[in-house]
Amino acid sequence: MYNLLYKELRLAAHPNLFVFTLLGALVIVPAYPYGMVFLFGCLGPYITFTYGREINDIYYTSLLPVKKRDVVKSKVALVVLSQMAQLVISLPFALLRLRLLPEGNPAGIEANVAYYGFGLMVYTIFNVIFLTHFFKTGYRVGWSFLWAIIPATLGVLLMEIVVHFPQFAWLDSVEGAMLFRQLPILLAGILVYILGTAIAYRVSTKRFDIVDL
């Protein structure tokens, strides 16, 4: 597993994957729709998968002493690593903005507990559709991305819009009590992400197993 991930990072990952992962820091921008961060977390894997097709990465991996399903494992691990790294990178900036910009984000949701819960759900929507669609063929990246990014974007829009309604104002808060109230959304996000990624992996391996390279 470690070797597969090392191969992904050293040979298969497009430089933009690292750039988009670093964009977790965008939550320090005073007024910005922070939901964009999650879409960047989807864009990075898309560019890397496209790049992987051009450099024949799947072919090379398949010829190494690994099972065919390890090709899927390798890619899923890279996507999860980049998205989790993006969230971890964003955390100190989310804390920093509480001190530097206490007046809040006028453009959309705050980088609060609910935000991270929604973000994990957005990632899950993208991963499940993108990965399972891509591994039907091992090369159709563009369509897979299109099918996945539309519902993921709708999810982000929903999150950004809903916080403008007074009855959902608690979702936009960074006060202690409200953050506690948001906790179930984060827990639901974590659960959905774990389950969704596991399903995406299982379905993708089944599909990729019968793909002719």
Partner 1 sequence: MAVLSVKGLTKRYDNFTLDGVSFTLQPGRIMGLIGKNGAGKTTTLKSILNLVRADGGTVEMFGRDFLQNEQQCKQELGVVLGGIDFYSHKRLSSITEVTRRFYTNWDEQAYQKYLDMFELVPSKKVKELSSGMKVKYMLALALSHNAKLFILDEPTSGLDPVSRDDLLVLFRELVRDGERSILYSTHITSDLEKCADDITYIKDGKLVKSADKGTFIESFQYLRESGEDRPLSLEEIMIRTERRGYDV
Of 66 and 203, nearer to partner 1 (C-beta) is 66
Number of residues that bind partner 1 (CB under 8 A): 22
The amino acid occupying position 99 is R
| 3-class secondary-structure state, position 66 | coil
Judged by beta carbon, residue 56 or residue 100, the one nearer partner 1 is: 56
| 164 is a site residue for partner 1 (CB under 8 A) | no
Q: Return the residue of 1, 99, 167, 212 that touches partner 1, per CB under 8 A.
A: 212
Residues 39-68 that bind partner 1 (CB under 8 A): 55-57, 59-60, 62-68
| DSSP code string of 69-87 | HHHHHHHHHHHHHHHHHHH
Q: Is there a contact between 211 and 69 (Cβ–Cβ < 8 Å)?
A: no
Of 201, 179, 187, give the one whose Cα is nearest residue 69: 201
Nearer to partner 1, 18 or 170 (CB): 18
* 8 A C-beta contact, residue 37 and residue 86: yes
**Non-local CB neighbours of 193 within 8 Å, separated by 6+ positions:** 120, 121, 123, 124
Q: Taking CB under 8 A as the criterion, which residues in 67-106 touch partner 1?
A: 67-68
Q: Which is nearer to partner 1, 19 or 56 (CB)?
A: 56
Contact by Cβ (8 Å): 92, 18: no
- Of the two residues 57 and 110, which places its CB atom closer to partner 1 in the complex? 57
Measured CA to CA, the distance from residue 201 to residue 195 in angstroms comes to 10
Reported residue count of the chain is 213
Count CB atoms within 10 A of the CB of residue 56.
12
Contact call for residue 154 and partner 1 (CB under 8 A): no
Q: How far is the CB of 149 from partner 1 (least distance, A)?
A: 26
Residue 180 sits in the site that holds partner 1 (CB under 8 A): no
In whole angstroms, the minimum distance from the beta carbon of 7 to partner 1 comes to 5
Contact between 7 and partner 1 (CB under 8 A)? yes
3-state secondary structure at position 37? helix
CB of 59 to partner 1, least distance (A): 6
Chain positions contacting partner 1, by CB under 8 A: 3, 6-7, 10-11, 55-57, 59-60, 62-68, 209-213
